[in-house]
Each structure stands twice: as C-alpha cells, then as structure tokens.
Structure 1
Amino acid sequence: MGPAATPGAGTSGAGRSGAWTNPLRDPNDRRLPRIAGPSALVIFGVTGDLSRRKLMPAVYDLAHRGLLPPSFALVGFARREWSDQEFAETVKDAVKEHSRTGFSEEQWERLAEGIRFVEGSFDDDAAFDELKQTLTELDAKHGTDGNHAFYLAIPPNAFPTVLSQLKRTGMAVSGAADTWQRVVIEKPFGHDLDSAIELNELVNSVFPEESVFRIDHYLGKETVQNILALRFANQLFEPLWNSNSIDHVQITMAEDIGLGGRAGYYDGIGAARDVIQNHLLQLLALIAMEEPISFSPRELQAEKIKVLSSTRNILPLEENSARGQYGPGWQGSEHVSGLVEEGFPPDSTTETFAAIALEVDTRRWAGVPFYLRTGKRLGRRVTEIALVFKRAPHLPFDDSMTAELGQNAMVIRIQPDEGVTLRFGSKVPSTGMEVRDVNMDFSYGEAFNVSSPEAYERLLLDVLLGEPSLFPVNEEVELSWQILDPVLDAWARADDAGPEIYEAGTWGPESADAMLERTGRAWRRP
C-alpha cells in the first residue's frame, strides 16, 4: 500500500513539517497518503490505560499501514524498572490485544528496532537527562533526525513538572532550523476559564502555540470529518443549512456504561466539563461554521472561532440547562447499581448527565436553538447530530392522514454505526392517503469496503506531520469555557437542590425533557 519509494533513515525527502516527500510521486495526486518523516514519539504516562488501549496500538497500526518510516522511534517514560526489551514486550501485548489491522510479526520486528524505555519519575533530573541522551542516540543511530513529539498522557497537575524538565534539558527547543519539537496534551484543558488560561500560558512558556497539539479524539473520527465534506462538497444540503429551514439542532453523546472504577477521578469533573466543553462544542462549531476559504488549519480554526465567539447560553439558565446523577435501574436485561452503590460520595453534586441550550448569534442561525446533552447509564451508546427541520407551512391533509408524521431530520451518526440518515414523510402503500416517516440511510460500513482508521491513528499521524487542523487552539479552548462557565456557576449556586436522580437505562432526568417541552420540542430517542 504505500508509495513507490520508502524513506530511509536519513533526512533526504523530509520537509520541515515532518512529512516524507516521495520524489517519484505526482504532487497533485491526492490518492496516496502522506507518510511521516523521521521522528521519535515520547509517551509520558506510558503505563496508563490510554497508552495501552489507544496509543500503542495506533502507533503499530500506522506502521502496519506504511505510514511511519523505518526511522521512527517510540520511547516510553515511567517509573517501572523495565529494560528496552521488557517495554517492547508490553507494547507487543497491547498491540496484539487492541490492534485494528491485525498482528504481523514481520512488521512488529521493524517497529521494535526503534523502541526504547527510560525509567524515572517526573521530578527526577537524572531520568530526564537520560531521556535526552536516549533521543540523541536515536537521532544519530536510528535516523530520527532531531524531530521529537512529547505526548503528555498524564494528569494535568503533572504538566508543570514535566514541562519544566523538558525546558531545563533543552528538549523543548529545536537544535537546528530543520528539526521540530512538539507537545501533545490530553483533555481536560483546565476545569474553568481561569485555569485554562493558566494552563495555556504554562504550555506556551515552553512550547510555541504552533507546536502545541491538544487532542480531542472525537475530531479524529471519520464521521466528524465527513461533516465538512457533507456540507461543502454538496449543493444539496447547504441551501437548507440555516434558520429558514432548520427548527433546532440536537447534539447527543450518550453512554450506556457507568463510572465503574473511575469514581475517584470523575468526582468534581462531571459530564459538562468532561464532554460538553470539548467534544460537543467542537461538533457545534463544525455544524454551524461558515464555509472556509480553504481547508488549511488557519482557515478552519478561524471559522470555528467565529462560531464559538457568537455562541450564547439561552436564558434563564435554570430553565435551559439540566443535570442529573444516575441511580439504580435496568440496562437492557441487566439490573445495574447507582452511583452511590459504586462508591461515589453520597453528598457529591457532580453530575453524570448534563444538557444545555445554546444559540449561535449569526444571521444564518438566528432563532435556532442548539441542544447539547451527554450522560452515562443512558438508553444506549450513541453519538449523533440531528438537524430537525421546520414543519411544512401548509399540509393539504387532514389529521388522520398525517398522524404518524414527524418533522424531517438529517441525523449524522458518529458512533457506533457511522453514517447519515434522512427522515422524511412518504405515502403508505394503500388505497387511501396516509403519510408516515421513512428513513433514507447511508452507512460507512456498507458504502466503503475499507474500515475507518481509529481516531488516534489520524491524530498521531497529524502530530508527526505537523498538521494542526483537527486540534483546538488556545482561543477555541478559552471560548468554550466562556460558554460553559455561566452554567457551572448557576449549578454551583443551586447546590442545595443538587443533581436530579434519573433511573439507569433511561434517557436522563425529567428536567432535561422539560427543557425542550417548554418550547414544544422533544429529545430524540436514538
């Protein structure tokens, strides 16, 4: 699968961005993928669940697809007393268990040549000195050429220590004009606006903003990226994509699982901070943005920033937001425990369900509410965007003919069954005139004979290529907190009431239904 020539360990053909340039390839041929150039990826927090389930398998899958050069290296940093070989075996086990592309011993042996491990804690100067020496040796002997990406898969409270070590050792600074150093940060990007600003200032004191990649794995999903293709490659939809045709928009991320062993981490964070501030507001920005001049990172980010700058909470917040905690109930055929039974503090006001109503204050979207909701222990696992259209201004039918007719809708399914559904009215085959809803369905799995890459594959490759289109910048993060902070403040002032308890396996608290019922609308039941 790859291009006609494969990059070697040297720098020939590698551009400043880190992408490999095949000298035999037509630069106008977009069918062949871009291949990362010589580089090393250092993972802090390499013993964690994210690394084992997502990052290590994604690195292997990229290599297996021919998108990493032989001069790629993977370096783990942790307090385990591992040799390089023992770490490589850990990576191998994770790859065998979670790889998307299947395990190949031949491919593994090539990747394993560049795997290294450094033992130490984040405040251990000697360990970071050893890490720098390891990277220097990889540059000289494995051909990584001074290009280094540092993935902080660690709690935010450890960022200052690690960043200061990278600055102290000089690893955060390019040693030559044709090399690069980048840092990758996992959410949460702060817990409110003030902490987000503080975090951004901290990171930018070590790495310039163009070298900072904030991971929002939802933006790496194929269906999310397809929003741009759906809107701007088709004349069919864009004329309807405004307040003249659309009644409201619902963006839902529902999970059918509970907190399990994450109760200690989750308490004090909650569904709004965990999902709405990043995932759902980014989806809103992609749905509501204007057509960019091009798909360059700068133009895409500029249009998203315009949307987030124009987004307002619908007031009063007490009526246009809802929060809840799940209690015991039936998840399918299984009876499941509530939060308190799972070890969650009984006096905690942290929500496991959150819903808010927003408006985008632009000519295109004036008067169209955007309803965002997320929760755990809901009816099923699904993430979708539903654009619900206005009813026809005149229906030449009596009520009995259209009793089963709802509103037209376009539903973009992000997971688990990626695709797009159009819902519209059609006549029921009979001698009478009866109209009811039918669906026209597009499924990724049926339309394409290749499986979609995992989000982390796309995002890790973009980091190595220096392609920031799918990564939120400082201003996007801070604008998202400006939208969410008033809701969180209102909930904090109402803590005497606390989150409403909802039964596991349902679609959330009654207050969330009341939020839409006040305007004659209702949540979809996916």
Structure 2
Amino acid sequence: MTVNISRGANPLRDPDDLRLNRIALPSALVIFGVTGDLSRKKLMPAVYDLANRGLLPPGFALVGFARRDWADEDFAEVVHDAVKQYSRTDFREETWQQLAAGIRFVQGEFDDDAAFERLRATVEQLDAERGTMGNHAFYLSIPPKSFPTVAQQLLRSGLVDEKSDPNRWQRVVIEKPFGHDLASARALNDALESAFPADSIFRIDHYLGKETVQNILALRFANELFEPIWNRNHIDHVQITMAEDIGVGGRAGYYDGVGAARDVIQNHLLQLLALTAMEEPISLSAEHLRAEKEKVLAAVRLPEDLSLATARGQYAGGWQGGEHVCGFLEEDGMNPQSRSETYAAIKLEIGTRRWADVPFYLRTGKRLGRRVTEIAVVFKRAPEHLFARAQADELGQNALVIRVQPDEGVTIRFGSKVPGTGSHVRDVTMDFGYGHAFTEASPEAYERLILDVLLGDPPLFPRHEEVELSWRILDPVERYWAALDEPLEQYQPGTWGPASADEMMARDGRVWRRP
C-alpha cells in the first residue's frame, strides 16, 4: 500500500521520514500499565511527538488499560498533562485535538474476562469510527510475571487471532527484563508465542533506539577509515561502560534480587558489544542485522577463572556532589541482607578470527562518578623508538570513544607533539557531537521504537535467539557469584566502583577509562 503524504504536510515532519514514507498506517496502540512512570514520562509524550511530526495517520487511536476507575475524559486529561510536561515538540492545539479524538480508557484487572471483552468492544468501535482497520499493538508496560496472563486473555477474548485477515495485524511489545535467567526467558517466550507469532513480538531495548547506537553501523561500514583497522591487528581492547550517578531510589523492591548485571549487562551492554563486534551485514534488514549480532553473541567466551575476570560491589553511604547519600542497604524498602550488586564488571572474549585475543570489558554501576554510557575502542600502542609517550597517568593509546549518553557523539584520542623545542607527545582529542553538527534534533528513542512497532519494522528489536544467547553468557557469572559466601565489597559514592574492578584490569596491564 502507498501512503499519500503530499497533502497537509506538517512543518515539523522530518524530511528523511517524508522521503522514506515512514508514516504509520491506521492503527491503535493499547497500553497496559498506563498509570506507570514509563507510560507517563516516555510513551504518551512519544505518541504525541510522533503525531506532531506528522508521522501518525488521522486514523490512529490510543487506548489505556488499568485498574483506575477513569472515564475516557479522565484518561485524556492524564495524557494531556504528560504531554505538556514531557513532550519534546511544541504543544499544538490542532495536533492535540486530533489525537484526543481517538483516546479511550478501559478499566479492569488482568484476570478479569469481562474487562477484556470491554477492551475488544472498544477497539472494534475504534476500527469503525476511527478507521484503525483492525491493526492493534499491545504495549505491556507491566511486570513480566503478568505477561502470560495478558497474552492468554488477548487470545481468549479474540483480540488476537492466528487465523485473522492477513491484511490486519496484531503485535505485542514488551520491555526488559526478558526473564531473570535462560530458563525463565524461554518460559516467557513460550507464553508470548502461544498468542502471537514470533515476528509479531517486539522486545524493546530503548538503548537500541538512541541515535548514536544506530550510528555505530554507519561509523563502521560507511567509512573506509575505520573498517580496515577494526580487528585484532590494531585494537588492544574494548571497554563498554554504562554508569549512573544516582542510586536505586524508589526501585529498591525491583532491584533486590536482580542486580546490576541482570539489569544492564544482559541486555544493554551485550547489545552494544554485538553491534561493535559484528561483521558487515548483507543489508540493514532485520533478518541480516540480527543474524550477524547472533553470530557474535554465540562466539562470546568467558575466561575459565571467573574470580580473575569479574568484579562486583555495592555503593556505601557517603558524600556525593555536596550532599550525604545513603548506602544501597539503607535505601527505603531494601532488604538489609541483600546480596544484589550495584556495580558489575565482566571480561569477555570473542572466539572469531577478527577478535581473537582482544578482551571486551563491560561495566555498569550506580552512584559512580558521572552519568555516561560509552564504547571505548582502545588501539595498540605505537612503537616508542621515536617519541616519548604520554605521562604514566594517561592512557597513552589511541582510542575511539562512541558516546551514547548523555552527550551523543564520537571522540577520537590521539597523540600530538607539544609545542616547543622538545619532541614530547601528549594525548589530545577531536570531538564530534550530534547537537553541534546537525540542526535536526535526534528522535527520542521511544519515538523511533513506537513508530517501528506500528510500521512492523523490527531491526532494532532483539528476537528471542539473541535474548537466550545473552543469558547463556551471563548465567555462569550469576551462578559463580551466588556460590560465593562472602559480603559484597563496598565502594564510595562518586567514585568509579570497587577496588576489585581496578585490580581486574591491572592484572591485564590495563586501566579503566575515566569518562
């Protein structure tokens, strides 16, 4: 089907979207758990911003499902307030009125058959009144333990039908965590596939919607400058970091029993590793991108002695940024005996010709020096027979640093002669920032991902094979940590983690970057 985009062009519409016809067909987005922070701060504003950019059709509807006793007007007011507070584009009354006309709310519990009958009646009415054509996306912004119940209710009520008209689609969207180990991930996938075909299940990792993450492919494969040196002959090691300067806050109940490795390494950081290390795909299609990422994850190897290749810890109480903060075990609602880590570091190897003997160091933590996510590709040292290298406290190695957040961009670190009569070389940097180089604002991650769901475009969504491979990597580490009968190492807030993490790098003759 060809979408006519020549009429009523919105001035906020991105020219690239016009050129690619990336405009959703008539459809309805049903959000379960619509009263949560994710829905209020991310999903609702993203829907409005898409509409404001002209990327949603007039035949679009937004349906909320929750326990609250709301009328449609009450829910519309909640959406309005969320849009006014969190949307990235200017508020335009014309856009809001068009969006508001398709807003509906259904009250109910997940195990309430009657509630799902009301939901079916609501979307069928929208099909007739708004022309949503039976195209429905179900966004499960709810705890994973409720996924099987909702999936079965959708199937039982006829909201999803395996034998439905092929010109109509139903899709389900789930957020991480995708299980807490390999066995639970498989059980979760089986529950979802009992109601939806595999290619109709969209697993959102919001990091994959970020502009810089997607630019990794362009950086590597659109530039002859990098690909010839992207291998073991030139690269010494790779560091992938996701650091936060905040504590667990109100997530204490969720975080206990999960920990930093399950929360971040299994999904975000292993996805970044796969994009950094993958071979060039045949095309940018979902099939070919996923195939190359899966090859990398299947080739990941853990060192034999995990005591030398992992580190973990918990943040203690202390001073950070001029204020005293409590320790992890002192957070409201936290189990004072919790053995969940707030910092985790792992050394991995990739058993391919390109990456043989090149270690990948993954680390994540809370209450660290600053909020940053980056990929640092550190190159081997140049021969030292001509120039003295940089001071001992500097890396003294070329590095390409891909910044994912908060300041999206790329930094190149290289040696340059210090002005003067001597021949001393000092490390300097060249910096590229998206905010400075382009006048166009990068789409917010959830804008891109929600649009891809409505378009049925899955390259940015990991399929269950990737999820299972990731758990195969992390499960042995979790089992090793669970077997240790010792308290977790404490680290001070505002630092860069426990001493054991630095010792892990020092054994390899390397140091962590200080972003």
Give aligned-pair identity as a percent: 70
Shift in Å at residue 6 of structure 1? 5.8
> SS at 2:316's partner residue?
strand
The question of 1:492 aligning with 2:482 is answered yes
Quickly say closer, same or farther: Cα 1:352–1:236, change in 2 above 3 A: same
> SS at 1:442's partner residue?
strand
Shift in Å at residue 395 of structure 1? 3.2
Segment drifting more, 278-287 vs 394-403 = 394-403
The question of 1:238 aligning with 2:227 is answered yes
Quickly say closer, same or farther: Cα 1:398–1:70, change in 2 above 3 A: closer
> SS at 2:236's partner residue?
strand
What aligned pairs does 1:250-269 form with structure 2 within 5 A after superposition?
250-269=239-258
User: Who is 1:474 aligned against?
Assistant: 464
Give per-residue Cα distances to partners, 1:199-229, cap 9 Å, x unaligned.
Answer: 1111111101000000000000000000000
Give per-residue Cα distances to partners, 1:225-273, cap 9 Å, x unaligned.
Answer: 0000000100000011000000000000000000111111110011000
User: Who is 2:274 aligned against?
Assistant: 285
For residue 307 of structure 2, the aligned residue among 310, 318, 335 is 318
**Conserved? CA contact 1:328–1:337, under 8 Å:** yes
> SS at 2:283's partner residue?
coil
Quickly say closer, same or farther: Cα 1:291–1:262, change in 2 above 3 A: same
For residue 408 of structure 2, the aligned residue among 407, 418, 422 is 418
For residue 459 of structure 1, the aligned residue among 437, 444, 449 is 449
What aligned pairs does 1:132-211 form with structure 2 within 5 A after superposition?
132-173=120-161, 175-211=164-200
Quickly say closer, same or farther: Cα 1:113–1:166, change in 2 above 3 A: same
Query: What is the distance in 2 between the residues matched to 1:49 and 1:522?
Result: 38
The question of 1:381 aligning with 2:381 is answered no
User: Who is 2:287 aligned against?
Assistant: 298
**Conserved? CA contact 2:5–2:18, under 8 Å:** no
For 2:68, the aligned partner's letter is R
Shift in Å at residue 319 of structure 1? 1.0
**Conserved? CA contact 1:42–1:149, under 8 Å:** yes
**Conserved? CA contact 1:402–1:434, under 8 Å:** no
TM-score (normalised: structure 2): 0.95
User: Who is 1:13 aligned against?
Assistant: none
Give per-residue Cα distances to partners, 1:365-386, cap 9 Å, x unaligned.
Answer: 0000000000000000000000
Query: What is the distance in 1 between the residues matched to 2:391 and 2:52?
Result: 57
**Conserved? CA contact 2:235–2:379, under 8 Å:** yes
The question of 1:444 aligning with 2:446 is answered no
User: Who is 1:396 aligned against?
Assistant: 386
Query: What is the distance in 2 between the residues matched to 1:421 and 1:399?
Result: 20
For residue 357 of structure 1, the aligned residue among 347, 351, 355 is 347
For residue 333 of structure 1, the aligned residue among 317, 322, 325 is 322
**Conserved? CA contact 2:381–2:397, under 8 Å:** yes
What aligned pairs does 1:213-224 form with structure 2 within 5 A after superposition?
213-224=202-213
Query: What is the distance in 1 between the residues matched to 2:18 and 2:59?
Result: 24
Give per-residue Cα distances to partners, 1:104-152, cap 9 Å, x unaligned.
Answer: 1221011001000001111111110010001111111110000000000
Quickly say closer, same or farther: Cα 1:516–1:402, change in 2 above 3 A: closer
User: Who is 1:366 aligned against?
Assistant: 356
What aligned pairs does 1:34-45 form with structure 2 within 5 A after superposition?
34-45=22-33
Query: What is the distance in 1 between the residues matched to 2:196 and 2:388?
Result: 66
Query: What is the distance in 2 between the residues matched to 1:30 and 1:425?
Result: 43
Quickly say closer, same or farther: Cα 1:172–1:401, change in 2 above 3 A: closer
The question of 1:47 aligning with 2:66 is answered no
Shift in Å at residue 160 of structure 1? 1.5
Shift in Å at residue 103 of structure 1? 1.3
For residue 123 of structure 1, the aligned residue among 111, 117, 121 is 111
For 1:134, the aligned partner's letter is T
Aligned-residue CA RMSD (Å): 1.7
Query: What is the distance in 1 between the residues matched to 2:18 and 2:308?
Result: 49
Query: What is the distance in 2 between the residues matched to 1:315 and 1:66?
Result: 53
Give per-residue Cα distances to partners, 1:279-311, cap 9 Å, x unaligned.
Answer: 000000000000000001000000000000000
Query: What is the distance in 2 between the residues matched to 1:97 and 1:345?
Result: 34
Quickly say closer, same or farther: Cα 1:409–1:133, change in 2 above 3 A: same
Shift in Å at residue 166 of structure 1? 0.3
**Conserved? CA contact 1:404–1:436, under 8 Å:** no
Segment drifting more, 328-337 vs 394-403 = 394-403
For 1:5, the aligned partner's letter is R
> SS at 2:410's partner residue?
strand
For residue 58 of structure 1, the aligned residue among 34, 37, 46 is 46
Shift in Å at residue 314 of structure 1? 1.9
Give per-residue Cα distances to partners, 1:12-33, cap 9 Å, x unaligned.
Answer: xxxxxxxxxxxxxx9x997355
**Conserved? CA contact 1:402–1:435, under 8 Å:** no
The question of 1:515 aligning with 2:507 is answered no
For 1:508, the aligned partner's letter is G
User: Who is 2:7 aligned against?
Assistant: 5
Query: What is the distance in 2 between the residues matched to 1:41 and 1:29?
Result: 20
> SS at 1:439's partner residue?
strand
**Conserved? CA contact 2:28–2:62, under 8 Å:** yes
**Conserved? CA contact 2:330–2:336, under 8 Å:** no
**Conserved? CA contact 1:359–1:367, under 8 Å:** yes
User: Who is 1:89 aligned against?
Assistant: 77
**Conserved? CA contact 2:389–2:396, under 8 Å:** no
Shift in Å at residue 400 of structure 1? 8.5
Shift in Å at residue 54 of structure 1? 0.4
Query: What is the distance in 2 between the residues matched to 1:162 and 1:485?
Result: 28
User: Who is 2:236 aligned against?
Assistant: 247
> SS at 1:380's partner residue?
coil
Segment drifting more, 423-432 vs 331-340 = 331-340
**Conserved? CA contact 1:46–1:77, under 8 Å:** yes
The question of 1:271 aligning with 2:273 is answered no
Which structure 2 segments of 5+ residues have no match?
10-14
> SS at 1:253's partner residue?
strand
Query: What is the distance in 2 between the residues matched to 1:168 and 1:521?
Result: 57
TM-score (normalised: structure 1): 0.94
For 1:106, the aligned partner's letter is E
Aligned length: 505
> SS at 1:364's partner residue?
coil
For 1:287, the aligned partner's letter is T
Shift in Å at residue 315 of structure 1? 2.5
Quickly say closer, same or farther: Cα 1:405–1:150, change in 2 above 3 A: closer
Give per-residue Cα distances to partners, 1:28-62, cap 9 Å, x unaligned.
Answer: 99735510000000000000010000000000000
Give per-residue Cα distances to partners, 1:458-484, cap 9 Å, x unaligned.
Answer: 000000000000000010000000000
